[in-house]
Amino acid sequence: MRPFLALALGLLALPALADPQLDKLTLPKGFHIAVYTDQTPNAREIALGAKGTVFVGSNDAGKVYALTDSTGSGKADKVRVIATGLQLPVGVAFKDGDLYVSAVSKIVVLRDIENHLDSPPKPEVVYDKFPTDTHHGWKFIAFGPDGKLYVPIGAPCNICDKGKDYAKLTRLNKDGTGLEDVAYGIRNTVGFTWRPGSNDLWFTENGRDLLGDDMPSDELNRLTKVGEHFGYPYCHQGDTLDPEFGKGKNCKDYTPPVLKLGPHVASLGLRFYEGKQFPAAYKGALIVAEHGSWNRTKKSGYRVMTVRLNGNKVVSYEPLIEGFMQDEKAWGRPADVQPLPDGSLLVSDDEAGAVYRVTYQAK
């Protein structure tokens, strides 16, 4: 049984969770994985503070976590709950000393958070006019190179046509003003990032359900211009019209994916790897967390993948971490990835309630 931790908002005992089964994981030669912390139930998006704090959103009782490694051991020696009672605070984004958190219809902010980890401030509401739907209502959020906060509005359904009110990506200023649409036809993205150098936005998208085990594929997409439409609910995976909403439509009218990630893999968080610790072949590659299917006859996903690019073309798509599922039973589900300044990589797992750290050392 895991030890209880004294947390910042009182002496809170975290529930006992199944221990991460790292011995079942497989990684390429030279890579190693260890537990950074196993005290973050339902860990989702990861964000880094300016002083090295690792912030983790979750869907556990509305909690947001702050992890600190004060000794440089490669493991979090303090796990603090810095907010609680929020509605599905999955998304976290750090900007100018403040931590922004998604809460379905709201974005809230914890001011100057790294200087107040032991006595966190009350969340301030920045914006509160997003839809209240919880179906695809939890939100991955991130600040772009333009300084704006990007916020998705997922479709409130498996498949439906709500026009341009849903199934899109928006952005707003950090003070909550200037909300505008960025892209349409996105069923639900729970991961997006910007490519260093070009600042192009890349994002994962979860395909619709109930078209069978192998249709449609999840997508890796690239935004080339504001206002672009990526097909939902009319066209799936760039080449397949929806049996109901695709009537009279043409897939050629919508932006196709850069890569089909596989049917129902539930692709979530992704980041470009720019560190120096991993081998040179990983420099500039996309690392993608695949949460795993929930209704497929034979499970898919439950892994962390590497997508290598040549320009904007995919060169390879191969596993970085496998083994979260054994004999059709999953003990772990990757939700997000986040490189650290030292070149290692954090991976959140909401099933095991853990964050892992991936390192590389050639023998």
User: Is the residue at 2 inside a domain?
Assistant: no
CA triple 162-165-169, angle to 5 deg: 115
Cβ-proximal residues to 298 (8 Å cutoff; 6+ apart), any chain: 213, 328
Q: What is the number of domains present in the chain?
A: 1
How are beta strands 180-184 and 168-172 bridged, if at all? antiparallel
User: Is the residue at 14 inside a domain?
Assistant: no
pTM: 0.94
Q: Which of 140, 146, 64 is nearest to 99 (CA)?
A: 64
CA distance 153 to 204: 14
Average pLDDT for the chain: 93
Q: Would you mind telling me the total number of residues written for the chain in this entry?
A: 363
CA distance 84 to 64: 7
What band does 15 get if pLDDT is binned at 50, 70 and 90? very low
CA distance 73 to 76: 8
What is the average per-residue pLDDT within 253-261? 98
CA triple 305-213-22, angle to 5 deg: 35
CA triple 116-339-201, angle to 5 deg: 100
What is the average per-residue pLDDT within 186-203? 97
What band does 18 get if pLDDT is binned at 50, 70 and 90? low
Cβ-proximal residues to 254 (8 Å cutoff; 6+ apart), any chain: 185, 229, 230, 231, 234, 235, 238
What was the pLDDT predicted at 183?
Answer: 98
What is the average per-residue pLDDT within 171-197? 97
What was the pLDDT predicted at 110?
Answer: 98
Q: In the chain, what percentage of residues exceed pLDDT 90?
A: 88
Q: Which amino acid is at 190?
A: V
User: Is the residue at 16 inside a domain?
Assistant: no
pLDDT surpassing 90 at residue 14: no
CATH classification at residue 342: 2.120.10.30
Q: Which of 154, 247, 169, 130 is nearest to 208 (CA)?
A: 154
Q: How would you class 246 by CB atoms within 10 Å of its CB: exposed for 0-12, middle for 13-18, buried for 19 or more?
A: middle
CA distance 99 to 105: 17
Q: What 3-state class would DSSP assign to 192? A: strand
pLDDT surpassing 80 at residue 221: yes
What band does 326 get if pLDDT is binned at 50, 70 and 90? confident
pLDDT surpassing 90 at residue 278: yes
Q: What is the DSSP string of 193-262?
A: EE-TTT--EEEEEPPPSSS-TT-SEEEEEEE-STTEE--TTTEETTTEE-TTTTTT--GGGSPPPSEEEE
User: Is the residue at 5 inside a domain?
Assistant: no
What was the pLDDT predicted at 19?
Answer: 64
Token pair 């695809």 is found at 136
Q: Are 291 and 268 in contact (CB under 8 A)?
A: yes
Q: Determine which of 7-16, 41-50, 318-327 has the lowest per-residue pLDDT on average.
A: 7-16
> Which DSSP category does 22 fall into?
G
Cβ-proximal residues to 146 (8 Å cutoff; 6+ apart), any chain: 171
CA distance 205 to 282: 23
pLDDT surpassing 90 at residue 363: no
What is the average per-residue pLDDT within 223-237? 97
User: Is the residue at 263 inside a domain?
Assistant: yes
User: Is the residue at 8 inside a domain?
Assistant: no
Q: Are 355 and 67 in contact (CB under 8 A)?
A: yes
Q: What is the domain extent for residue 78?
A: 22-360
User: Is the residue at 6 inside a domain?
Assistant: no
pLDDT tens-place string over residues 86-142: 999 999 999 999 999 999 999 999 999 999 999 999 999 999 999 999 999 999 999
What was the pLDDT predicted at 297?
Answer: 86
User: Is the residue at 41 inside a domain?
Assistant: yes
